[in-house]
Amino acid sequence: MLPYKPTNGPLAGLRILDLSRLLPGPLGTMLMADMGAEVIKIENPESPDYVRMFPPHLNGESVHFLMYNRSKTTLLLNYQTDEGRAEFLEMIKTADVVVEQFRPGYLNRLGIGYGVARQINPRIIYVSVTGYGQTGPYAHLAGHDLNYLGVAGVLGLTGDPADAPTVPGVQIADIAGGSYGCVMGTLAALYARERTGEGQHVDVSMTDAVMPLLTVAYGLFAGGMDSVRGQMPLSGGQPNYGVYLSKNQGDGRNRHIVLGTLEPKFWQKFCNLIQKPDWLKFMLPQTPEELVDYKKQIQTLFLERTQAEWVAFGTENDLLITPVNDLVDLQNDPQLIARQMVVTEQHPVAGAYSSVGVPLKFLR
């Protein structure tokens, strides 16, 4: 058993069989395990979760595996054999949900797909997390996070217009598309089952699931605005809403701040406090040249104070100025500490390690 197994929560009593590997499915089932669900991670002993091999390791245990599989129990079961299939189908009788991440049709060929499982347990829910979904010309193609972001149009909007698209610092399609889509699909199917008494097969496409992230950008595009990377209003096109370098604090680190003064009332207050009334026009640059010039002037201003000084100024005046935290800063951020979002876990083999906390809190 992995550390931190909750004994209660809104999903207590739910039993999930987790056949998924790598990141999207395992993180999704971990989020549900953190909410109280019993999650049994089933690994084929001849082909276990590849993440176990990914460095770094603590006393032989992959940190990545620990990060994606907290709160679960693990069962070694070769479901490719007749005996293993029979045991898996026996478990279906008492399970609520099966989460899998294989290419479409793989579990059907093994004889443990949804069609077989529903004959044993009509209430069973299968959640299939794939890159492109169960249908369409891309359905059987392999892929990873960056592929899905590229197809969905998210990658093309990210970065500077003069350069190639920027590779995001986090796995957006895997997590926002796969993990969150897994949780959302599972909960929706469970709600439907409460009304109908029957389960269903949920098709989670990571490409489909990240496309709602385009809602604002695509709305602007559909309305006739040019979709130039780095120049749309909420992705670099407004100087009063962006990221700027602050004055060096003398420790060799470059620290940035977020200027989030999107609404006119905040930008007007900012301009008044820094005594730059002529900057009010910066909200709406009319040409790419103006955009560059306005950003350059603001950047010059932010180099006059350190990150800490600007953050204090923003907090004091309610100006939406916040730090750009590096990973090393997370454990010292008072908000993240208060919300227990960076925690220390204890593992019987790996020992103590730092981890991301449980994101959903349920208040009574």
CB of 48 within 8 A of CB of 91? no
Whether pLDDT at 183 is above 60: yes
Position 225 scores a pLDDT of 87
174 an active-site residue?
Answer: yes
Token pair 């100087």 is at which residue?
Answer: 239
Among residues 18, 96, 145, 174, the one annotated as catalytic is 174
As a whole number of angstroms, the distance between CA 50 and CA 153 comes to: 29
Provide mean pLDDT across the span 212-236. 91
Position 346 scores a pLDDT of 87
What is the tens place of the pLDDT at every residue in 15-47?
999 999 999 999 999 999 999 999 999 999 999
With 0-12 / 13-18 / 19 or more C-beta atoms within 10 angstroms meaning exposed / middle / buried, residue 322 is middle
Position 7 scores a pLDDT of 59
What is the tens place of the pLDDT at every residue in 297-327?
999 999 999 999 999 999 999 999 999 999 9
Give the chain's mean pLDDT: 94
DSSP 8-class letter at 318: T
Token pair in block for residue 139: 């359905």
Radius of gyration in angstroms for the set of CA atoms belonging to the chain, rounded to a whole number? 24
CB of 41 within 8 A of CB of 74? yes
- The type of residue at 212 is P
Whether pLDDT at 6 is above 80: no
Residue 93's pLDDT band, with cuts at 50, 70 and 90, is: very high
DSSP letters for 114-183: HHHHHHH-TT-EEEEEESS-SSSTTTT----HHHHHHHHTSGGGSS-TTSPPPPPSS-HIIIIIIIHHHH
Position 273 scores a pLDDT of 97
Higher-pLDDT residue of 350 and 321 is 321
Residue 5's pLDDT band, with cuts at 50, 70 and 90, is: low
Whether pLDDT at 2 is above 70: no
Provide mean pLDDT across the span 255-282. 96
Position 1 scores a pLDDT of 40
Phi and psi at 129, nearest 5°, equal -105, 115
Domains of the chain: 15-213+341-356 (3.40.50.10540), 241-324 (3.30.1540.10)
